Chains A and B, each alone.
With several copies, the nearest count.
Chain A
Amino acid sequence: MLEQLIDPAAPQVPVMVQGATGRAARQHIKLMLGHGTNIVAGISPKAAGEVQDGVPIFATCAEAVEGTGARVSLPMVPPMSVLPAAREALEAGVRLIVTVTEGMPVRDAMHLHALIREHGAEWTGASSPGLAVPGRCKLGFLPDACLALGPIALWSKSGTLSYETALRLKSRGLGQSAWIGVGGDAVKGTRFADLVPLFRDHTPTRAVVIVGEIGGTEEEDLAARLAQEPLDKPVYAILAGSAAPEGKTMGHAGAIVSGGKGTFESKAEALQSAGVHVFRAIPPLVDRVAQDFQKETA
């Protein structure tokens, strides 16, 4: 389903939003609709039967899937409700869950991960900032000001750092072919390495920019996968946290250097030996990507 989502030549995937009548959900539903997202249903038992900003509201996921053919769900619910919401959506037949709530308990995330496997479905989250194919669809919070269709696939753990990176690349004429926010969580649905096969034959993508950070082994695992199955397009990475002290969690649950693992150096070395251009600051990354594209089009 992620594959269809990022294929600009495929029909748009019908999306439902759980918890659609919440204040923030309503605001973001408008922004997502404004970006072309095919939101066909909202879920909210107390508003069932109403139409909100053109989106029909259903009491249950099963009714929404039955009535609209929704294939993707975006639960916009409080942290403790993410797991039950996602379970209901999966049982209703949804094929992709994108969760954006911050603070889903890790154990819930582990349970959801197992449920996703059982259903043969897909999950991006726990706290994804969002996914987007600019102009086609946007699920989550990615700011419209940063979105611009272009040749760069952006894979990011962080929201804000990827916004800043995207905005600067955009100011150099380089928009995104797709933007996948995998989130900064320890336990997550889609990891960087999972994206490699999806983007190998994604023709709108001419380069990949990874927005990674210290902590965990996701960058190292990505490097291992790239070494085995090269992407055949240039890959650049910015890694945040090179100056972070050990033992301090830097906001993201996963962003902690502990026992000498998950360091900037470990990630940079792994990625570099897989052919990735690694940067520790945004300006040189942006300059390099822009230069490489200029050379190519010159």
Chain B
Amino acid sequence: MEATILLLEHDAKMLLGARGLTVPEGVLAAADTMPEPTGDGPWVVKAQVPVGGRGKAGGVCVVQDRAGLQEAADAICALTIKGFPVRELRIEEAVPDATELYVGLVLDPATAEVVVMASAEGGVEIEAQAETAIHRRWARPDEASLTAALAEVAGALPPNAARAVTEAGARIVAAWLDLDATLIELNPLFLRADGSWIAGDVRMDVDEGALPRQPGLTALLDDRAAAYPEAIFKRDNGFDLVVVDPEGEIGLVTTGAGLSMQLIDEMTARGLKPYNFCDIRSGGMRGDPARLVENIRRVLEGPNLKCILVNIFAGITELGEFAGLLLKALDELGEVPVPLVVRLVGNGQDRADAILRASGRGLILERDLDRAISLCAAPEVADA
């Protein structure tokens, strides 16, 4: 399954700025590398995390002078917002004395169309606005349809706001189509008294599935690999692995998104602490243990790791072959310092169990998933 990539604000602004959207001048910073910001202030220091609500969490701070910059940066970089430790900041020129508008293009799964939205009352609380304040039109993902919808929602706003929404909106329509976006929101879109506008905040999601036809996005992710560890991991390794709890104790080597998610739920409900989500796609390994090696190596990075659970439900894959690959991966990894509970169910399960038993590696084999989860809690009781 291909996911949506939530671009960090800074990256979204760089992309859209290059496509003619006016955005405040700004630089990317980190706690220990603080480039000189443009202008004379005031500035806004913003945590770059792929999640909404950073303002409420203290991740956005206005500073009046250069003296305040480092202090604000230090404070924000100390934050963890909804599980994401803040590692990067965007420092940009503040936009004072402006009205806050809203314009956005959002994928609507229910209709498979784009909702074009605009409001004369933008700001952080857009979701909490009265329904009547937001104007919505549904459009097909082509320029004519999106432009017509944009004209309609803009037409419901006061003239200056309408012009700003129309102009800024035209840029995001083009970007949506060019970049295979699934969401672009300007919120706020600042409208100055003189009628000029500038995009105060940008949220932009792009479609991971479209990356093969988006060389620009691919280059961006390459340049900013550290900021998109999961997308880069997936691109490099061909499967999904997401650390859900850096303090987690149980590493997962699992196939299938739904079942892996469910495993995390059931473990969590039973008081266990899974370290990661994972969809290794066992059907696509083609005789190469590389994914297994990378998966196990990655979960072993968890500082509190106590156990690894391998859970493969094989509809099509032959599990005997998988078992062989697992042993190869373990050989390549050398000593694995935690016990492995292995649950292989499906096509060739008997052969797989026999292969693993014969290896003498002391793997803990268990067919029943509930018992396998229990064994993860106390692998020492297993009669391996």
Instruction: Tell yes or no: A283 within 8 A of B by CB.
Output: yes
List A contacts of B177 (CB < 8 A).
107
B258 close to A111 (CB less than 8 A): no
Instruction: Tell yes or no: A5 within 8 A of B by CB.
Output: no
List A contacts of B314 (CB < 8 A).
143
A161 close to B110 (CB less than 8 A): no
Q: How far is B52's CA from A260's CA once the two chains are assembled, in angstroms?
A: 9
Instruction: Tell yes or no: B155 within 8 A of A by CB.
Output: no
Which of B107, B109, B207 has most chain A Cβ within 10 Å?
A: B109
A224 to chain B, nearest CB (A): 11
**Known interface pairs A158-B256, A158-B258; A253-B6 also in contact (CB < 8 Å):** no
List B contacts of A146 (CB < 8 A).
315
**Known interface pairs A163-B313, A281-B266; A251-B209 also in contact (CB < 8 Å):** no
Q: How far is B311's CA from A161's CA once the two chains are assembled, in angstroms?
A: 12
B315 close to A107 (CB less than 8 A): no
Taking CB atoms and an 8 Å cut-off, the chain A residues in 84-114 that contact chain B are: 102-107, 109-111, 113-114
- Contact string against A for B residues 366-384, beta-carbon threshold 8 Å, 1 for contact and 0 otherwise: 0001100000000000000
A243 close to B207 (CB less than 8 A): no
**Known interface pairs A145-B347, A167-B345, A241-B265; A103-B51 also in contact (CB < 8 Å):** no
Instruction: Tell yes or no: B50 within 8 A of A by CB.
Output: yes
List A contacts of B109 (CB < 8 A).
186-188, 191, 216-218, 254
Q: How large is the interface on A (under 10, 10 to 19, 20 to 34, 35 or more residues)?
A: 35 or more
B112 close to A243 (CB less than 8 A): no
B83 close to A245 (CB less than 8 A): yes
Instruction: Tell yes or no: A157 within 8 A of B by CB.
Output: yes
- Contact string against A for B residues 128-164, beta-carbon threshold 8 Å, 1 for contact and 0 otherwise: 0000000000001100000000000000000000000
List A contacts of B49 (CB < 8 A).
247
List A contacts of B258 (CB < 8 A).
156-162, 184, 211, 213, 240, 251-252
**B369: nearest chain-A partner, CB-CB:** A164
Taking CB atoms and an 8 Å cut-off, the chain B residues in 232-269 that contact chain A are: 240, 242, 244-245, 255-262, 264-269
A249 close to B4 (CB less than 8 A): yes
A160 close to B259 (CB less than 8 A): yes
What does DSSP make chain A's interface, helix, strand, loop or mixed? Answer: loop
Number of interface residues of B (CB under 8 A): 64
B52 close to A103 (CB less than 8 A): no
Taking CB atoms and an 8 Å cut-off, the chain B residues in 100-139 that contact chain A are: 107, 109-110, 112-114, 127
Instruction: Tell yes or no: A68 within 8 A of B by CB.
Output: no
List A contacts of B257 (CB < 8 A).
158, 160, 184, 250-252, 255
A107 close to B264 (CB less than 8 A): no
B141 close to A107 (CB less than 8 A): yes
B178 to chain A, nearest CB (A): 11
What does DSSP make chain B's interface, helix, strand, loop or mixed? Answer: mixed
B3 close to A161 (CB less than 8 A): no
Which of B110, B209, B266, B277 has most chain A Cβ within 10 Å?
A: B209
List B contacts of A184 (CB < 8 A).
1, 257-258
Instruction: Tell yes or no: A153 within 8 A of B by CB.
Output: no
**Which single member of B180, B209, B268 contacts A79 (CB below 8 Å)?**
B209
**Which single member of B3, B84, B315 contacts A141 (CB below 8 Å)?**
B315
Instruction: Tell yes or no: B174 within 8 A of A by CB.
Output: no
B259 close to A187 (CB less than 8 A): no
B262 close to A238 (CB less than 8 A): yes
- Contact string against A for B residues 340-384, beta-carbon threshold 8 Å, 1 for contact and 0 otherwise: 000001110110000000000000000001100000000000000
B262 close to A107 (CB less than 8 A): no
List A contacts of B208 (CB < 8 A).
103, 253
A195 to chain B, nearest CB (A): 15
A106 close to B182 (CB less than 8 A): yes
Instruction: Tell yes or no: B337 within 8 A of A by CB.
Output: no
**Which single member of A221, A245, A249, A282 contacts B110 (CB below 8 Å)?**
A221
Instruction: Tell yes or no: A280 within 8 A of B by CB.
Output: yes
**Which single member of A105, A109, A213 contacts B261 (CB below 8 Å)?**
A213
A102 to chain B, nearest CB (A): 6
List B contacts of A164 (CB < 8 A).
259, 262, 313, 369
**A244: nearest chain-B partner, CB-CB:** B261
Instruction: Tell yes or no: A271 within 8 A of B by CB.
Output: no
B52 close to A259 (CB less than 8 A): yes
Instruction: Tell yes or no: A80 within 8 A of B by CB.
Output: yes
**Which single member of B180, B277, B350, B369 contacts A248 (CB below 8 Å)?**
B277
**A212: nearest chain-B partner, CB-CB:** B258
B82 close to A245 (CB less than 8 A): yes
List A contacts of B113 (CB < 8 A).
110
List B contacts of A127 (CB < 8 A).
1
**Known interface pairs A251-B261, A252-B257; A246-B83 also in contact (CB < 8 Å):** yes
B240 close to A251 (CB less than 8 A): yes
Instruction: Tell yes or no: A142 within 8 A of B by CB.
Output: yes
List B contacts of A266 (CB < 8 A).
none
A37 to chain B, nearest CB (A): 15
List A contacts of B180 (CB < 8 A).
105-107
**Which single member of B209, B313, B349 contacts A104 (CB below 8 Å)?**
B209
**A-B pairs with beta carbons under 8 Å apart, 10 shown:** A27-B316, A109-B112, A160-B255, A161-B258, A216-B109, A221-B110, A241-B262, A249-B3, A251-B3, A251-B257
Beyond A247-B83, A249-B4, list 10 extra A-B contacts (CB 8 Å): A159-B258, A160-B257, A161-B261, A162-B258, A184-B1, A188-B109, A244-B244, A246-B83, A249-B3, A251-B258
Task: Report, nearest first, the 8 A-B pairs whose CB atoms are least far apart.
Answer: A158-B258, A160-B256, A143-B315, A251-B257, A161-B258, A113-B112, A160-B259, A243-B268
Please list the residues of chain B having a beta carbon within 8 angstroms of any beta carbon in chain A.
1-4, 6, 49-53, 82-84, 107, 109-110, 112-114, 127, 140-141, 177, 180, 182, 207-210, 212-213, 230, 240, 242, 244-245, 255-262, 264-269, 274, 277, 279, 313-316, 345-347, 349-350, 369-370
